[in-house]
Structure 1
Amino acid sequence: MITEEEKKYKKWIVTLSVVIPLLVALLFGVKLKDLGIDVKPLHFLPPIYATVNGLTAIMLFAAVAAIKKGNVKLHENLVKVCMACSLAFLVMYVAYHMTSDSTAYGGEGVMRSVYFFILITHILLSIIIIPFVLFTFVRGIAGAYERHKKLARITYPMWMYVAITGVIVYVMISPYYAH
């Protein structure tokens, strides 16, 4: 049975799940220098947002460990931090791309195929994961624990994949960054 709290947030979740990817795609194509805004490229951001992805993966793992030990409050707090980290990643990622030219992957052969496979699956799942994370979170705070748990079994591995592959993508492309 869907709780009133879940019903209250459903429109917001659906809206955010559409607006966030569209806004990111739109802003990704905007270069501040092309708009006459003199801003220095934010070259320092990629290792920071890759680290944030790594921390997200660690905290997701810790959140699952906490709930398995019955520590609901720690679980909830860790998930909130993971959500904040994901948002921080997104802001830094967009800021970097609005101030810097995109970096082309310079690897060849099999590694090139591996890189693009990881990158494409990372991007696609980072879009797909938005409503999963939000609905899972709302079910938890609404007290719909069985439904939360059922959806979390799907959400967790996808979110973990996005967090870990974010780090892998950075490690693979970092040698090709021009500063």
Structure 2
Amino acid sequence: MENNTIETKYNKLIIVLSVVIPVAVAALFGVSFKKLGIDVEPFTFLPPIYASINALTALLLVVAVIAIKNGNRKLHEILMKLAIACSVAFLLMYVAYHMSSESTKYLGEYKMVYYFILISHILLSIAIIPLVLITYVKALAQRFDKHKKIAKITFPIWLYVAVTGVIVYLMISPFYAN
């Protein structure tokens, strides 16, 4: 299959996923297991797990960049696939938690800082979806010149999203209902 064909093949999927994922997550915030008639205890164990997954994602991203700078393409590829898998796992757990639990309000003294970090995290987590997918497809198509160019934009944004996910958790966790 020609490289352009690979990119063309995935372009529609990238667009669909870039729209569907944020819309689905937003829609699921209005849906709870209780509203669906499913009686479950809140998944209160999930936030520290998905915060840890965000931390792991950040670590994987940094090590992947070091690997590629050292010429280790295979390790880079493995680490990037793991980072994508971690991001998917995070998303699934995040949605499951919010479908089982009431929203938690931040009650600390650093509200402006918290909400700035939270809002920038949310907006960039939406923006990172097409960036990661496009970057991945460029590598899949072996268009490494274009992959490298967009990766220079994708990497810092994805790293910011992963790190701020941990920061948001650390700031909000004292206010979770017990």
Q: What TM-score do you get using the length of structure 2 for normalisation? A: 0.97
Provide Cα deviations, 1:4-50, integer angstroms capped at 9, x if missing partner. 11111000000000000000111121111122211111000000000
**1:44 maps to what in 2?**
45
Q: Distance in 1 between matches of 2:43 and 2:173?
A: 14
**2:135 maps to what in 1?**
136
Q: Distance in 2 between matches of 1:66 and 1:141?
A: 18
Counterpart AA for 1:164: V
In the alignment, does 2:115 pair up with 1:125? Answer: no
| Structure 1 gaps, min length 5 | none
**1:115 maps to what in 2?**
114
**2:15 maps to what in 1?**
14
Counterpart AA for 1:53: N
Aligned length: 176
**1:86 maps to what in 2?**
87
Structure 1 residue ranges (4+ consecutive) displaced by more than 4 angstroms after TM superposition: none
Provide Cα deviations, 1:122-175, integer angstroms capped at 9, x if missing partner. 000000000000000000111000000000000000000000000000000010
Q: Distance in 1 between matches of 2:140 and 2:73?
A: 11
Aligned counterparts, 1:155-170, within 5 A: 155-170=154-169
| Structure 2 gaps, min length 5 | none
Q: What TM-score do you get using the length of structure 1 for normalisation? A: 0.97
Task: Let me know the Cα RMSD of the aligned residues.
Answer: 0.8
**1:149 maps to what in 2?**
148
